[in-house]
Amino acid sequence: MLQIRVRSFGGDTAVAALRGRLVLGRETEVFRSLAAALMSEYTRVVFDMGDLVAIDCAGLGELVRCAARAKESGTTVGLVRLNVRVRDLLVIVKLATLFDCIDEGAARAA
């Protein structure tokens, strides 16, 4: 099950901490809805993926969809606390450049 906790920083930045699994089904539906809501309210959205234990191709697809929507709306999307496997996967499938991959300290400073 995917759990999401959202914090706001400075009025224009939201950090959404993901815990659990971002996989096909209810989890990707929840993520899609939340991402759309955050991008309509904030100009910068950061997804903290440090407690994400699994991501499948549907989860990657939702991340790509999120990046495309962000580009259309002028929102910046960042990913922080990526584990090595997820970071490597994003690089291998050439998706890393879609996101502003930043560190946690930078997310808090925003």
Q: 45-54 b/e with 16+ CB inside 10 Å = b? A: bbbbbeebee
110 band by pLDDT with thresholds 50, 70 and 90: very low
Q: What is residue 41's predicted lDDT score, i.e. its pLDDT?
A: 94
Q: What is the architecture, at CATH level 2, of domain 3-109? A: 2-Layer Sandwich (3.30)
103 band by pLDDT with thresholds 50, 70 and 90: low
**Beta strand 3-9 pairing with 13-22:** antiparallel
| pLDDT of residue 104 exceeding 80 | no
Question: Which residues pair with residue 45 across a beta bridge?
Answer: 14, 77
Q: Name the residue ranges covered by the structural domains of the chain.
A: 3-109
Q: What is residue 109's predicted lDDT score, i.e. its pLDDT?
A: 47
Q: pTM to 2 decimals? A: 0.88
